[in-house]
Chain A
Amino acid sequence: MSRQTLGGTSRKQPAQLPVLSGRPLASLYAGNVRAVFARGLKATWGSNWAITASGFVEPVLYLVAMGVGLGSLIGTVEGPGGERIGYANYIAPALLAVSAMNGAVYDSTWNVFFKLNYAKLYEGMLNTSLGPLDVALGEILLALLRGALYATGFTAVMGVMGLVTAPWALLMVPAAVLVAFGFASFGMGVTSFMKTFQQMDWISFVMLPMFLFSATFYPLSVYPEPVQWMVQALPLWHGVELLRQLSAGAVTAATGLHILYYLVMILLGLVLTTARLRRLFLS
Chain B
Amino acid sequence: MSQAHRPDSAGRGDIVVSARNLTKKFGDFTAVDAISFQVRAGESFGLLGPNGAGKSTTMRMIGGVSRRTSGELAIMGLDPDRHGPEIRAHLGVVPQQDNLDQELRVRDNLIVYGRYFGLPHSYLRPKADELLEFAQLADKARAKVDALSGGMKRRLTIARSLVNDPRMLLLDEPTTGLDPQARHILWDRLFRLKESGVTLILTTHYMDEAEQLCDRLIVVDKGRIMAEGSPAALIREHSTREVLELRFGSERNAAVAAELGGIGERQEALPDRVLIYADDGEAALEQVSGRGLRPLTSLVRRSSLEDVFLRLTGRSLID
Interface residues of A (CB under 8 A from B): 1-9, 11-22, 26-27, 29-30, 32, 34-36, 38-39, 42-44, 47, 119-121, 123-131, 281-283
Are B196 and A11 in touch, CB under 8 angstroms?
yes
Q: Mark B268-306, 1 if CB is under 8 A from A, else 0.
A: 000000000000000000000000000000000000000
Q: Give Cα A12 to B197, complex, Å.
A: 11
**Which of B90, B108, B134 has the most chain A CB atoms closer than 10 A to its own CB?**
B134
Q: When A and B form their complex, which 5 residue pairs have the shortest distance between CB atoms, in order from nearest? A: A8-B192, A21-B1, A129-B89, A43-B103, A1-B185
Q: Give Cα A18 to B8, complex, Å.
A: 11
Q: Give Cα A19 to B194, complex, Å.
A: 24
Decide if B182 is an interface residue (CB 8 Å cutoff): yes
Name the one of A17, A36, A42 contacting B117, with C-beta atoms under 8 angstroms: A17
Total residues of chain B contacting the partner, CB 8 A: 62
Are B85 and A26 in touch, CB under 8 angstroms?
yes
Are A127 and B115 in touch, CB under 8 angstroms?
no
| Chain B residues with CB under 8 A of A9 | 196
Having A3-B189, A35-B112, A129-B116, one finds 17 other A-B pairs with CB under 8 Å, namely A1-B155, A1-B158, A5-B134, A6-B134, A8-B195, A9-B196, A14-B165, A19-B89, A26-B83, A27-B84, A35-B116, A38-B112, A39-B112, A43-B104, A121-B101, A124-B113, A129-B89
Are B196 and A42 in touch, CB under 8 angstroms?
no
Are A125 and B165 in touch, CB under 8 angstroms?
no
In the assembled complex, the CB of A54 is this many whole angstroms from the nearest CB of chain B, namely: 20
Q: Give Cα A131 to B91, complex, Å.
A: 14
In the assembled complex, the CB of A213 is this many whole angstroms from the nearest CB of chain B, namely: 36
Decide if B46 is an interface residue (CB 8 Å cutoff): no
Are A127 and B67 in touch, CB under 8 angstroms?
no
Decide if B93 is an interface residue (CB 8 Å cutoff): yes
Decide if B66 is an interface residue (CB 8 Å cutoff): yes
Q: Give Cα A271 to B115, complex, Å.
A: 24
Interface residues of B (CB under 8 A from A): 1, 5-6, 8, 63-67, 78, 81-86, 88-91, 93, 95, 97, 99-104, 108, 112-113, 115-120, 123, 130-131, 133-136, 155, 158, 162, 164-165, 182, 185-186, 188-189, 192-198
Q: Give Cα A20 to B101, complex, Å.
A: 26
Chain A, Cβ-Cβ closest to B178 = A1
In the assembled complex, the CB of A107 is this many whole angstroms from the nearest CB of chain B, namely: 13
Asked, given contacts A11-B196, A17-B164, A121-B99, whether A1 binds B134 with beta carbons under 8 Å apart, the answer is yes
Are A128 and B116 in touch, CB under 8 angstroms?
yes
Q: Give Cα A20 to B86, complex, Å.
A: 6
Chain A, Cβ-Cβ closest to B186 = A1
Q: Give Cα A248 to B69, complex, Å.
A: 57
A-B contacts, 5 listed (Cβ < 8 Å): A3-B189, A6-B133, A14-B165, A121-B103, A128-B88
Are B65 and A281 in touch, CB under 8 angstroms?
yes
In the assembled complex, the CB of A85 is this many whole angstroms from the nearest CB of chain B, namely: 45
Name the one of B6, B108, B120, B135 contacting A15, with C-beta atoms under 8 angstroms: B120
Q: Give Cα A4 to B130, complex, Å.
A: 11
Are A283 and B99 in touch, CB under 8 angstroms?
no
Are A130 and B123 in touch, CB under 8 angstroms?
no
Name the one of B83, B116, B123, B198 contacting A125, with C-beta atoms under 8 angstroms: B116
Q: Give Cα A125 to B103, complex, Å.
A: 14
Are A124 and B99 in touch, CB under 8 angstroms?
yes
| Chain A residues with CB under 8 A of B103 | 43-44, 47, 119, 121
Q: Give Cα A257 to B125, complex, Å.
A: 48
Chain B, Cβ-Cβ closest to A45 = B103
Name the one of A3, A129, A282 contacting B67, with C-beta atoms under 8 angstroms: A282
| Chain A residues with CB under 8 A of B81 | 27
Name the one of B82, B85, B91, B196 contacting A130, with C-beta atoms under 8 angstroms: B85
